[in-house]
Amino acid sequence: MALTEQKNGGRPRALFPGWLTATGVTVGSVAVTMLGLLFVTFIIGRVMPIDPVLAVVGERATPETYQQVYEEMGLDRPLIVQFGFYLWDVVQGDFGMSLLNGRPVSEDIARVFPATLELATLGTLFGVLIGVPLGVLAAVKQGSWIDQVARVVALVGYSMPIFWLGLMGLLIFYGILGWVGGPGRVGIFYVDVVPSVTGMILIDSVLDRNWTVLKDAFSHIILPASLLGYYSLAYISRMTRSFMLEQLSAEYVTTARVKGLSERAVIWRHAFRNIRVQLITVIALSYAGLLEGSVLTEIIFAWPGIGSYITTALLSADMNAVLGGTVVVGLVFVLLNVGSDLLYRFLDPRAK
């Protein structure tokens, strides 16, 4: 509620416009959420059974060397002071140096994140373009064979382990049929052929007008993107069906049919219009889930994204890289939630 003041003993008047108050609340909630995320990641980095000093100096270092590095890393200071320095560095975009390769973690993340963004975006598009119509059709044809097929598709998508589907997909479509490219983003002959502008090779190859690289890159991304898209499709179609069933049983739908509106108008102009806000939240959560949950897919397909980067860093005790990647993924979650909230306000006038 906007802050108010009393004017001449009359009705209270808002001190700030409603949109300004709502913006302040949103920015404040994002700041508090990110502060909590940073604190949790900092504590995780301190309680993990990994000694960051040993990761730097090695197990054969002398006690004097160990103590010197221990103090240089600031680990001799109180935790609250360490967190303050950590917070200041992160605000400036500094996640420290990677112990694995000696490069700034922020540079590594900027290099690998576009690969995950490209993969998750294509997978989400696949899930939305097929999952939403499938869910609507299943709700309209409730109890029919179409509905049963849609429910089975969703059930299989939830039940099958992603690593098994990935291995079977590589075996059948790459190893046996040869319809798609193998692991990696492009073939070995096309690595670094197009200049990196966005970090997303499909877009970069279009900007460079290199259609050969575009074709090769698409043949490599189509299988892992379809795999992720199938999981997104299963979730989106199930939720779309549930939302539509609720709307189709409402009184206003019956009234629209009695008035003689076509079934197409009833379904898409009335029932579907009322589930758009709910679908935005579902799609945003699905997209965020693909961005942070594609670890196994990236490992199976040797996809150089942030999931495989964090996994490699964790196995190498590179906590700067692990914490930096975790913070970036958390920031993406927050931004997607804020974006879906803004779309919610735009599509639903009642929320303004």
Give the residue, 166 or 51, on which the prediction is more confident: 166
Q: What is the pLDDT, as a whole number, of residue 64?
A: 79
- The answer to whether residue 28 is domain-embedded is yes
The sign of the torsion formed by the CA atoms of 136, 140, 143, 144 equals negative
Residue 6 confidence (pLDDT) above 70: no
Number of domains in the chain: 2
Distance CA 124, CA 122 (A): 5
Average pLDDT score over the chain? 82
User: Which of 91, 122, 144 is a domain's end point?
Assistant: 91
Of the listed ranges 4-8, 28-32, 198-202, the least confidently predicted one is 4-8
With cut-offs at 50, 70 and 90, classify the pLDDT of residue 8: low
In Å, how far are 75, 164, 232 from 82, measured between CA atoms? Answer: 7, 43, 40
Q: What is the pLDDT, as a whole number, of residue 1?
A: 43
196/319 same-domain check: yes
- The answer to whether residue 134 is domain-embedded is yes
Of 287, 306, 281, the residue nearest 124 (C-alpha): 287
Q: Are 226 and 294 in contact (CB under 8 A)?
A: no
174/268 same-domain check: yes
235/300 same-domain check: yes
What are the tens digits of pLDDT across the range 35-49? 888 888 788 777 776
Give the residue, 4 or 309, on which the prediction is more confident: 309
With cut-offs at 50, 70 and 90, classify the pLDDT of residue 2: very low
Structural element, H or E, at residue 252: helix 251-258
Domain residue limits at 23: 18-91
User: Which of 37, 61, 91 is a domain's end point?
Assistant: 91
Global confidence as pTM: 0.80
Distance CA 224, CA 174 (A): 12
